[in-house]
């Protein structure tokens, strides 16, 4: 049993709102806010200028980064037998808590998603079972002869046929990644919490660290690729990535040496193995991949801890993702892109063509880039629905879309979603482009303005609550913007409301209601100014 210590959380935590002060600040393109880790309370003036290059006096809002009051004493009788499973009721905002107007509604929505157990698909073929207590020498065709690992599942992909199902035992933790098979249902069986699938290969609190300098530790394990995210005790702290060992100066700063077996160095004033029960390291890979596939349903599964995407497919058809939990995703460097310093990672990504895609009733949080995205330079997005999802603490967009001139969108619906705290999670704090956060983000492609041609694109009955930059970015070069209807807009006074179509970027203030209703066309909008 690890010795009894107080866990000190010190990674730019607890984003708290204050509307009582204003003043000068650095550019929003500055890295200063993302790089500050301190044992004292720090305040930062947030620049609200459109291009991030200058301050508009009197229109800034003070945001405070303070030490979280969340502490854990170990051992703790409330901890589970298996520390690989989260023991927190809500890990989304443990070290980045934000108080919102819709907290009670979000709690209810989260509870409904996590408690859901029903299976929505009739299985007509063979069912394969995977259990922590299984054995890869079994045939996998019954609960008593279940497989144990994702490795055996990958090796048996050729045996899977349309109508088959792969079910993971509830309460279990399974590590790795898999390529899906067309026509197969991926879900859960048994009782208890949703089965967890982690991109992290193991709990690194158990593997040990080498002391390589004052308050400097190196994981004994090397990694297959770039480590984009470190998560301590399932969200009590998150690693603050640096680009060299010389920059490791504050608790939770870490560096992945990609030129030396992807070794991970961590600055901490205690031995991490003594301090934590759980350390998860997500390197560059997707947990579920379904490129070029069709007729797949993914239901009742938890996905966490990878440096790439949780679920990703390109050129897909008839893909359904429902009642899943997706958290602490992204942060690895995007290979063969730009100058090699761009980090990435989405919760659910549909690339290029996607026909008949449905993402509903999912809880998605702490994503480096975006919670749900459809994007691409070619193809058709046809019948894309994202509805009744709770999406929180995404670095770029809760929902992101962009499609350039060779792509088209038809029959797209975002409805009944609660999109909260964009830019306030680990991704928003660490990314250098502070002007990219928005509940709806349509202009994320840095190489040029997206065209976003659309036919019947509707965004209705959603709640947009708080963003560090724009609340909405629904810009469109093509004259086919989405239709907004019956949405709720909650934002800090004098921060950005954002763009719609080709209209001018505007502030969130007493005039916003008229702009949203008359210019944006959302005549039934509800406006809440913080």
Range with lowest mean pLDDT among 5-14, 38-47, 383-392, 470-479: 38-47
Q: State residue 404's pLDDT score.
A: 86
> What span, in angstroms and rounded, lies between the C-alpha atoms of 354 and 380?
6
> What span, in angstroms and rounded, lies between the C-alpha atoms of 275 and 277?
7
> What span, in angstroms and rounded, lies between the C-alpha atoms of 492 and 465?
9
pLDDT tens across 216-238, in order? 999 999 999 999 999 999 999 99
Burial class of residue 65 in the structure, from the number of CB atoms within 10 Å of its CB (0-12 exposed, 13-18 middle, 19+ buried): buried
Q: Which of 436, 409, 274 is nearest to 343 (CA)?
A: 436
* pLDDT above 70 for 156: yes
pLDDT tens across 313-355, in order? 999 999 999 999 999 999 999 998 888 899 999 999 999 999 9
List Cα–Cα distances, 504 to 187, 299, 433, 441, in angstroms: 45, 41, 20, 16
Q: State residue 480's pLDDT score.
A: 87
CB atoms near residue 221 (< 10 Å) = 16
Which of 71-80, 136-145, 403-412 shows the highest mean pLDDT?
A: 136-145
* pLDDT above 50 for 501: yes
Q: State residue 33's pLDDT score.
A: 27
Mean pLDDT of 266-281: 93
> Cβ distance 501 to 481 under 8 Å?
yes
Residues 6+ positions from 409 with CB-CB distance below 8 Å? 374, 380, 381, 384, 401, 403, 452, 453, 454, 455, 457
* pLDDT above 90 for 68: no
> What span, in angstroms and rounded, lies between the C-alpha atoms of 119 and 185?
10
More confidently predicted of 231 and 77: 231
Q: State residue 76's pLDDT score.
A: 53
Q: State residue 324's pLDDT score.
A: 98
* pLDDT above 80 for 263: yes
Q: State residue 448's pLDDT score.
A: 53
Dihedral of alpha carbons 303, 259, 10, 37, sign: negative
Q: State residue 20's pLDDT score.
A: 30
* pLDDT above 60 for 65: no
Q: State residue 414's pLDDT score.
A: 98
Burial class of residue 30 in the structure, from the number of CB atoms within 10 Å of its CB (0-12 exposed, 13-18 middle, 19+ buried): middle
> Cβ distance 348 to 406 under 8 Å?
no
> Cβ distance 278 to 203 under 8 Å?
yes
> Cβ distance 73 to 2 under 8 Å?
no
> Cβ distance 314 to 351 under 8 Å?
yes
CB under 8 Å, gap of 24 or more: what pairs does 160-165 form? 160/128, 160/184, 161/125, 161/126, 162/125, 162/295, 163/123, 163/124, 163/125, 164/123, 164/125, 164/126, 164/127, 164/128, 165/121, 165/123, 165/125, 165/126, 165/127, 165/128
pLDDT tens across 411-424, in order? 999 999 999 999 99
pLDDT tens across 246-257, in order? 999 999 999 999
Q: What is the largest CA-CA distance in the chain?
A: 68
Q: State residue 339's pLDDT score.
A: 86
Q: State residue 117's pLDDT score.
A: 96
Mean pLDDT of 286-299: 98
Mean pLDDT of 519-525: 96
Q: Which of 485, 414, 411 is nearest to 455 (CA)?
A: 411
pLDDT tens across 457-478, in order? 999 999 999 999 999 999 887 7
Element at 111 (helix H, strand E): helix 103-115
* pLDDT above 80 for 71: no
> What span, in angstroms and rounded, lies between the C-alpha atoms of 42 and 67?
9
More confidently predicted of 164 and 339: 164
Range with lowest mean pLDDT among 32-41, 214-223, 374-383: 32-41
Q: State residue 503's pLDDT score.
A: 83
List Cα–Cα distances, 76 to 3, 350, 379, 418, in angstroms: 11, 41, 53, 34
What is the 8-class DSSP label of residue 503? P
> Cβ distance 344 to 368 under 8 Å?
yes
What mean pLDDT, rounded, does the chain reach?
Answer: 85
> What span, in angstroms and rounded, lies between the C-alpha atoms of 356 and 378?
17
pLDDT tens across 127-140, in order? 999 999 999 999 99
Q: State residue 25's pLDDT score.
A: 26
> What span, in angstroms and rounded, lies between the C-alpha atoms of 432 and 434?
6
* pLDDT above 60 for 7: no
First vs last C-alpha separation in the chain: 46
pLDDT tens across 388-397, in order? 999 999 999 9
Mean pLDDT of 438-450: 74
- Predicted TM-score (pTM) of the model is 0.88
> Cβ distance 429 to 34 under 8 Å?
yes
> What span, in angstroms and rounded, lies between the C-alpha atoms of 147 and 127?
12
Rounded to a whole number of angstroms, the CA Rg of the chain reads 22
> What span, in angstroms and rounded, lies between the C-alpha atoms of 444 and 123?
39
Beta bridge pairs of residue 392? 365, 420
Q: Which of 284, 285, 187, 268 is nearest to 233 (CA)?
A: 268
Range with lowest mean pLDDT among 324-338, 425-439, 448-462: 448-462
* pLDDT above 50 for 275: yes
List Cα–Cα distances, 525 to 490, 496, 510, 516, in angstroms: 11, 17, 14, 7
Mean pLDDT of 270-286: 94
Helix, strand or coil for residue 330?
coil
pLDDT tens across 91-121, in order? 998 888 899 999 999 999 999 999 999 999 9
Split at pLDDT 50, 70, 90, the class of 90 is very high
> What span, in angstroms and rounded, lies between the C-alpha atoms of 234 and 350?
27
Mean pLDDT of 497-511: 91
């Amino acid at each position: 049993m690890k010795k009894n210590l107080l866990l000190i959380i010190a990674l730019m935590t607890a984003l708290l709102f204050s509307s009582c002060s204003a003043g000068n600040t650095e550019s929003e393109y500055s890295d200063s806010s993302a790089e500050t880790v301190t044992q004292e309370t720090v305040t930062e003036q947030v620049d609200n200028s459109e291009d991030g290059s200058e301050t508009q006096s009197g229109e800034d809002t003070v945001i405070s980064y303070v030490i979280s009051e969340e502490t854990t004493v170990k051992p703790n009788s409330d901890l589970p037998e298996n520390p690989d499973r989260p023991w927190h009721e809500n890990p989304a905002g443990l070290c980045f808590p934000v108080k919102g107007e819709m907290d009670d509604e979000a709690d209810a929505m989260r509870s409904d998603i996590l408690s859901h157990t029903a299976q929505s698909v009739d299985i007509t073929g063979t069912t394969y079972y995977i259990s922590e207590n299984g054995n890869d020498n079994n045939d996998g065709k019954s609960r008593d002869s279940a497989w144990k690992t994702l490795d055996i599942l990958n090796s048996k992909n050729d045996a899977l046929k349309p109508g088959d199902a792969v079910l993971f035992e509830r309460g279990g933790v399974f590590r790795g990644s898999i390529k899906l098979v067309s026509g197969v249902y991926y879900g859960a069986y048994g009782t208890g919490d949703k089965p967890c699938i982690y991109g992290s290969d193991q709990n690194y609190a158990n593997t040990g660290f080498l002391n390589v300098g004052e308050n400097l530790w190196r994981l004994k394990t090397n990694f297959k690729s770039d480590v984009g995210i470190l998560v301590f005790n399932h969200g009590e702290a998150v690693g603050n990535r640096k680009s060299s060992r010389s920059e490791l100066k504050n608790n939770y700063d870490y560096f992945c040496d990609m030129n030396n077996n992807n070794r991970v160095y961590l600055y901490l004033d205690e031995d991490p193995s003594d301090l934590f029960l759980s350390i998860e390291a997500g390197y560059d890979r997707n947990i579920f991949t379904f490129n070029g596939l069709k007729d797949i349903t993914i239901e009742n599964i938890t996905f966490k801890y990878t440096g790439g995407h949780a679920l990703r497919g390109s050129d897909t058809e008839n893909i359904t993702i429902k009642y899943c939990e997706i958290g602490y995703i992204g942060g690895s460097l995007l290979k063969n892109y730009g100058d090699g310093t761009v980090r990435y990672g989405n919760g659910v990504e549909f690339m290029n063509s996607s026909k008949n895609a449905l993402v509903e009733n999912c809880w998605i949080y702490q994503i480096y880039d975006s919670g749900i995205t459809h994007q691409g330079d070619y193809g058709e997005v046809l019948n894309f629905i994202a509805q009744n999802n709770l999406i929180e603490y995404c670095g770029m967009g809760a929902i992101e879309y962009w499609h350039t001139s060779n792509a088209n969108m038809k029959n797209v619906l975002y409805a009944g979603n609660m999109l909260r705290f964009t830019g306030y999670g680990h991704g928003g704090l660490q990314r250098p482009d502070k002007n990219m956060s928005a509940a709806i983000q349509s202009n994320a492609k840095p190489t040029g303005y997206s065209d976003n041609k659309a036919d019947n694109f509707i965004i209705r009955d959603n709640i947009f609550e708080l963003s560090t930059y724009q609340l909405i970015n629904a810009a469109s070069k093509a004259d086919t913007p989405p239709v907004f209807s019956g949405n709720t807009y909650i934002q800090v006074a004098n921060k950005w409301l954002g763009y719609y179509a080709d209209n001018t970027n505007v502030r969130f203030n007493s005039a916003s209601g008229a702009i949203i209703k008359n210019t944006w066309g959302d005549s039934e909008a509800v406006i809440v100014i913080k």
